[in-house]
Structure 1
Amino acid sequence: MIFCKSGGCSAKLGPKVLSKVLSKLPKFEDENLLVGFDSSDDASVYKLTDDIAMIQTLDFFPPMVNEPYIFGQIAATNAVSDIYAMGGTVKTAQNIVCFPENEDLNILGQIMAGGASKIMEAGGILSGGHSVNDESIKYGLAVTGIVNPQKIYQNNTIELNDDLILTKPLGVGIIMAANSVGEASDEAMQKAIKSMTTLNKKTAEIMTDYDVHACTDVTGFGFICHLLEMVAKDYSVDVYAKNLPIIKEALTYADNFLITSAGQRNRNFAGEKVSFADEISFAMQEVLFDPQTSGGLLISVNSKDSKSLVEEMQKAEIDARIVGKVTNLNKYKINVM
């Protein structure tokens, strides 16, 4: 079995390690801190006025593609996604750069230009940043957005009988892993790059008109572990494997054991909290644990609204699908069928 290490969100610490560290940090009491790190949400939210709250997030990682400009675009698209997952609007961003001084600085310029292009597309302003001389290249951004305090989407506020909607295809991490050993096709790479450089902006704009109860973006912890954060120990979820949007080549590569070590960490963390029907293949399981870079939004919405929401998103060329249902038949469990 080949365990491929890649850049992007595959470089994240595993959820088990991270949760252990975060559990030891002091809890900060402030009535204006509406969302902190205790719920493992996508970003923090701090109330400024009755009508305005500030969303803060940051994300950075090593390259997962060879083209510097595209890497910068992916990193920025990924960083601003947390703002959209919270229901907010992007306002400002600052670069985070690790780069070797003896390397060609034109490469750094291309990376940052790619990032700036996506911040502009998001409607934000690039306002500064910080750089460190490092042997390995890493890039990302700290992003600030705003949201009405009454209209925040959190990741753990799903409700019974909600439908789950996913808005981008899974499998990006596996394709990057295959590419790192020269096994990914050009077609698969182009599909993955298109997904990773597509902002979740339009998705976020559309869903504001519907009865959305919870939202998160699917990144380094994969579909399953991000869904576990949404369940929050109160519900179970049925996942419809046949409905999932997937880059088809990822299933082929997973069958050939071109998978990531981060995906295995996600699988180990989920443990007995997830069950698979007998017909769910090994490759499908790996796609569900696969760490995504700049993935789609996973939305928990009133079942009365789900069909209309999906139809509107699909008209906007968003590959949205109803992929599951919230139940409470056995609490804190994901059932993939």
Structure 2
Amino acid sequence: MSDAGDDRSPALTEYAELHGCSCKVGQAELDSLLTDVGLSEAQEELQFGVGEDASARVIADGLSVVSTIDFFTPIIDDPYEFGRIAACNAASDAFATGAGDDLTFLVVLGLPQELTDAATDVLCGIVDAVDDMEGVVAGGHTIMNPWPIAGGSVIATTPSEHVLQTSDASPSDRLYLTKPLGTQPAMGALRVRDGEFGETIAETTARPVQDIADEALAWMTTPNRDAMLAAREYATAATDITGFGLLGQARVLAENAGVGVELTHLPIIDGTLELSQLFGYGLEDGESAETSGGLLLAVPDRQTDAFESSLSDANVFYRHVGRVTTDSGATIVDPTIERVHG
């Protein structure tokens, strides 16, 4: 917390012990919770629901509505950027299911009483991000809360034939990722670079921490809508990479589809590997939490050329990162580490 008499603006991240998607409940705990309350089975009223990134329901002939909710603690101190990241992250769950039309966003916002002046900037960030996604903010709910939180409920529609879910991945599908990894170490370094470990941070990577963080921010505030629109005619399954990390999200896909996932290529933001090794985040093992990460898409081998052309035409970043197999679980096999710069 800021000392009395300190005239600097309160830092949002100082009010939370966990930041961004790293505040999510772990996979094992979440699975146990859902089982305990009877929500681990398919619901016949839905195309899919619990266990996927969002729920989907047919509302008319050939039309599905997708709904989801996502919010988290700040990963950055700037209130406006916190709002932008939170909106992109929440909408990403809908985009991961192939939905992006008629996007309606209901804001979830909670702030400590001493940070209520930041509400306007957080909300402006959310509104601007939703506008960039051709959606509309229709309302929401704001509370006082010891830890700052922001995000929202998202509703969107899509032709039922374009609905994507993790359970439809098939052996021989290729796997693609639409953003590089490394947001957790990038932003972690930014938070402590001026503290007692600042010198250690600066010596860990050859790149300035601010440059690394700026690139991470640019990726986190890039909506996955363009990637979804370019990919949904070709992909068989999708999920977005968030708090469980690349390997954790790949495990979800593997379990839901009854397949194996083999990851062989890790695109990372240049400079974040060394920072991850310093902090022990496990980026090189696919374990580092991502906030507002890219889409992990399964694409049939025969469709990959058209798929890649579609993403290139839409100016969407992508990398071939692995394949779906007949095994079970998800593994990283002798991965190629690609440093992505700019």
Give TM-score scaled by structure 1 length: 0.85
Q: CA deviation at 1:50?
A: 2.0
Letter in 2 for 1:31: E
- Residue in 1 aligned with 2:123? 112
- Residue in 2 aligned with 1:41? 52
- Residue in 2 aligned with 1:248? 270
Distance in 2, matches of 1:52 and 1:141, equals: 23
- Residue in 2 aligned with 1:275? none
Given candidates 260, 274, 292, the residue that maps to 1:294 is: 292
CA contact 1:6–1:176 (8 Å) conserved in 2: no
1:234 aligns with 2:258: yes
- Residue in 1 aligned with 2:144? 133
Distance in 2, matches of 1:213 and 1:29, equals: 19
Distance in 1, matches of 2:98 and 2:42, equals: 24
1:65 aligns with 2:76: yes
Q: CA deviation at 1:235?
A: 2.1
1:7 aligns with 2:19: yes
- Residue in 2 aligned with 1:51? 62
Letter in 2 for 1:336: V
Q: CA deviation at 1:29?
A: 7.3
Structure 1 residues 314, 259: CA separation in 2 closer, same or farther (over 3 Å shift)? Answer: farther
Q: CA deviation at 1:180?
A: 2.2
| Cα deviation code 1:88-117 (max 9, x no counterpart) | 125211111111234342x11000000000
- Residue in 2 aligned with 1:100? 112
Distance in 2, matches of 1:208 and 1:166, equals: 14
Q: CA deviation at 1:254?
A: 1.9
Letter in 2 for 1:178: A
Distance in 2, matches of 1:185 and 1:6, equals: 20
Q: CA deviation at 1:311?
A: 3.8
Aligned 1:98-177 pairs, distance under 5 A: 98-105=110-117, 107-177=118-188
Tell me the secondary structure at the aligned position of residue 118 of structure 1: helix
RMSD: 2.0
Letter in 1 for 2:104: T
- Residue in 2 aligned with 1:334? 331
Letter in 2 for 1:220: G
Q: Bigger CA drift: 173-182 or 138-147?
A: 173-182
| Cα deviation code 1:70-100 (max 9, x no counterpart) | 1100000001111111011252111111112
| Cα deviation code 1:171-223 (max 9, x no counterpart) | 1112122222213701100110000000111111111332x110000001000
Aligned length: 303
Structure 1 residues 102, 252: CA separation in 2 closer, same or farther (over 3 Å shift)? Answer: closer
| Cα deviation code 1:135-177 (max 9, x no counterpart) | 2211111110112223210012111100000000001112122
Letter in 1 for 2:275: Y
Distance in 2, matches of 1:117 and 1:333, equals: 37
CA contact 1:174–1:259 (8 Å) conserved in 2: no
Distance in 2, matches of 1:302 and 1:49, equals: 29
- Residue in 1 aligned with 2:3? none
Tell me the secondary structure at the aligned position of residue 294 of structure 1: coil
Distance in 2, matches of 1:170 and 1:325, equals: 18
| Cα deviation code 1:291-327 (max 9, x no counterpart) | 1100000000011122332243234332201111112
Structure 1 residues 131, 44: CA separation in 2 closer, same or farther (over 3 Å shift)? Answer: same
Letter in 2 for 1:195: W
CA contact 1:206–1:313 (8 Å) conserved in 2: yes
| Cα deviation code 1:227-278 (max 9, x no counterpart) | 011112732222113xx2211211111222x145xx6xxxxxxxxxxxxxxx
Q: Bigger CA drift: 41-50 or 177-186?
A: 177-186
Structure 1 residues 30, 63: CA separation in 2 closer, same or farther (over 3 Å shift)? Answer: closer
- Residue in 2 aligned with 1:284? 284
Q: Bigger CA drift: 225-234 or 194-203?
A: 225-234
Structure 1 residues 104, 98: CA separation in 2 closer, same or farther (over 3 Å shift)? Answer: closer
- Residue in 2 aligned with 1:220? 243
Task: Specify every segment of 5 or more residues in structure 2 that has no aligned partner in the other structure, as ranges.
Answer: 1-15, 194-200, 202-207, 335-342
Given candidates 209, 230, 236, the residue that maps to 1:185 is: 209
Tell me the secondary structure at the aligned position of residue 153 of structure 2: strand
Distance in 1, matches of 2:66 and 2:249, equals: 19
CA contact 1:245–1:319 (8 Å) conserved in 2: no
Letter in 2 for 1:321: R
Distance in 2, matches of 1:293 and 1:139, equals: 13
Letter in 1 for 2:269: I
